[in-house]
Amino acid sequence: MKTRPSLNLSSLDGSNGFVINGINEGDFSGISVSSAGDFNGDGFDDLIIGALRADPNGNDAAGESYVVFGKSSSFGASLNLSSLDGSNGFVLNGINIYDQSGISVSSAGDFNGDGFDDLIIGARGADPNGKESAGESYVVFGKSSGFGASLNLSSLDSNNGFAINGIAADEQSGGSVSSAGDFNGDGFDDLIIGARFATPNGNAAAGESYVIFGFRTTTITDEDTPVNILASTILSRYTDVDGDILSISNFTNPANGTLTLNDIGTLGDASDDYFIYTPKPNYNGADSFTYTVIDGNGGNITATFNLNVKPVNDAPVAVNDTVTAAKNTAVNIQANTLLANDTDIDSTNLSITDISDTTNGTAVLKNNGTPSNSADDFIVFTPNSGFSGAASFNYTITDRQLTSTAKVTIQVGDRLLGGNGNDVLHGTPGKDTLNGGNGKDNLYGGNGKDTLNGGNGNDLLCGGIGSDILTGGNGKDKFVFTDGEGTDIITDFCKGNDLIGLSGGLTFNKLSFTGNNIIVTATDEILATLTGISTTTLTAANFTIV
């Protein structure tokens, strides 16, 4: 004899499922249960639970329904419905005494075509239009955010949902409700509502069921994409008992886009008019505008038209970079250095995926032994032997979906030796090493982080743009600075022998001194650091204008 597989509900412990506890005695929580679809659009399906005897807002047996949001993990053995706070779910409150809202609950599919699953809740005891127990059903539209701990079904206003009224007294429409899927194949999910005590064709309690076709209540467009909205589509929602011709008289501009009306050159004929809605650049989310429908004879109604702008992933934007390197010396370029000026309107999680088109050297992407962590990646660039000048490579970044490519220019410096004469040496835009040798030499580093050695003789050393290292050597040397060109280090300044030359409008009285640093007072820029020298001992005699 085979043993029938079974599961004791008492064994649910959070790992294999969990129990959901009702709130008050006699609420009858669980009288109806269903999937709620992905009501909040977070990628997890949700639940809905009915409690037809709950007493919201003091209304006896008005009924409550509870939406519990799905998630990926961290389930306890039980969940109290009283703990729903808007972040983990919320309660939907019935309206009037004895409505018995929640007798039947279900997902409604995406009834209004806005990309979010909707809900339907039956209230068989409701009294629409004064008809006792004719019953009501409530469609609640899904959305991505903005949930409070509770929602009163009486607050449904066509923007967040609507009520469906039963026909005759005591029919109890809404005693059963369900999604009907896309029954008519028009792209919108439909509904079915049961009324078990309805009397079709004079047959008492033969019962009726009602199929309601889904329809668009929200126009959808992609981010950065205009959409046309036919005026006739809006006007089709309205009728006029007098047969008057309806038209749209005015409208408001939406908060997150612009709206224009095109009459196609047929002023006075609204049948071919259409609106053009253009969302703000890179905006996604809900938007709306109000409009007024008139009948030409004094009748009018103002309503809201809802829009949903769906997010679209924008490609990242990679921006060219320039770095420096020394001759015959490999340089590590941190990925974060290159990514610092790259942007992505949708993401900050960018990484480098590829290196290509290298010139005058080799470039290799390294993951630092942590392939899952792109934050510590770096590129090793090695210039060709003996090369000095501009090298380059392309790098490609990704946001995990789209890519962009930019160019890195590497200014490879040179090694220049002056010899015995009075030399003038100019560095490249790269990382240079200049040695004056003997003689009265003038050394100009140019751009890049340069190393200047005066050697023997009375030399002039000007690092230029970049944070440079300056060593005068023997002789009476002059170290020249201009503000805005970086912080240089003088390794061997000798008071009374060497001078600091100021250019570009700098003067001694524009400087301040602290520790080893000479500072431009107005900008707090550190102009130079003097190794082994307390700059507070310097006087105007140690400076000269060049």
For residue range 346-401, list pLDDT tens digits in order: 888 899 999 999 999 999 999 888 877 888 999 999 999 999 999 999 999 999 89
Predicted local confidence at residue 73, as pLDDT: 84
Residues 424, 406: contact at Cβ < 8 Å?
Answer: no
Distances (CA, A) of 265 to 154, 231, 261: 44, 15, 11
Question: Identity (one letter) of the amino acid at 201?
Answer: N
Whether residue 15 is predicted with pLDDT greater than 80 in this model: the reply is yes
Predicted local confidence at residue 285, as pLDDT: 87
Instruction: Return residue ranges of the chain for CATH 2.130.10.130.
Output: 9-212
Q: Are strands 478-481 and 499-502 parallel, antiparallel or unpaired?
A: parallel
Domain 321-412 sits in CATH at: 2.60.40
* pLDDT band at 329; cut points 50, 70, 90: very high
Residue 340 Cα to chain centre, angstroms? 18
SS (H, E, C) 479-508: EEECCCCCCEEECCCCCCCCEEEECCCCCH
Q: How far apart are CA 248 and CA 270, in angstroms?
A: 8
Yes or no: domain 416-545 corresponds to CATH 3.40.50.720: no
Residues 37, 117: contact at Cβ < 8 Å?
Answer: yes
Give me the chain's average pLDDT, please: 93
Question: Which of 497, 411, 426, 403 lies closest to 458, judged by CA?
Answer: 497
Q: Are strands 161-165 and 19-21 parallel, antiparallel or unpaired?
A: unpaired
For residue range 196-250, list pLDDT tens digits in order: 999 999 999 999 999 999 987 778 899 999 999 998 888 877 777 788 888 888 8
Give the mean model confidence (pLDDT) for residues 486-505. Answer: 96
For residue range 420-462, list pLDDT tens digits in order: 899 999 999 999 999 999 999 999 999 989 999 999 999 999 9
Give the mean model confidence (pLDDT) for residues 161-168. Answer: 94
Predicted local confidence at residue 265, as pLDDT: 63
Q: How far apart are CA 527 and CA 330, in angstroms?
A: 29
Question: Which of 210, 226, 140 lies closest to 175, judged by CA?
Answer: 210
* pLDDT band at 266; cut points 50, 70, 90: low
Predicted local confidence at residue 368, as pLDDT: 86
- Decide which of 3.30.830.10, 3.90.180.10, 3.40.50.300, 2.130.10.130 is the CATH code for 9-212: 2.130.10.130
* pLDDT band at 303; cut points 50, 70, 90: confident
Question: Identity (one letter) of the amino acid at 322?
Answer: T
For residue range 512-531, list pLDDT tens digits in order: 999 999 999 999 999 999 99
Instruction: Return residue ranges of the chain for CATH 2.60.40.10.
Output: 218-310
Domain range 218-310, CATH architecture: Sandwich (2.60)
Most confidently predicted of 72-76, 144-148, 191-195, 298-302: 191-195
Q: How far apart are CA 324 and CA 391, in angstroms?
A: 10
Q: What is the pTM of this model?
A: 0.58
Question: Identity (one letter) of the amino acid at 480?
Answer: V
* pLDDT band at 258; cut points 50, 70, 90: very high
Residues 49, 81: contact at Cβ < 8 Å?
Answer: yes
Q: Which residues contact 462 (CB under 8 A, 6 or more apart)?
A: 442, 443, 444, 445, 479, 480, 481, 501
Predicted local confidence at residue 3, as pLDDT: 66
pLDDT top residue among 518 and 159: 518
DSSP-assigned beta bridge partners for residue 433? 415, 451
For 512-538, letters b (16+ CB in 10 Å) and e give: eeeebebbbeeeeebbbbbeebebeeb
Beta-carbon count within 10 A of 17 CB? 12
Q: How far apart are the first and last CA of the chain?
A: 106
Q: CA angle, 491 as apex, 487 and 495 as ends, to 5°?
A: 105
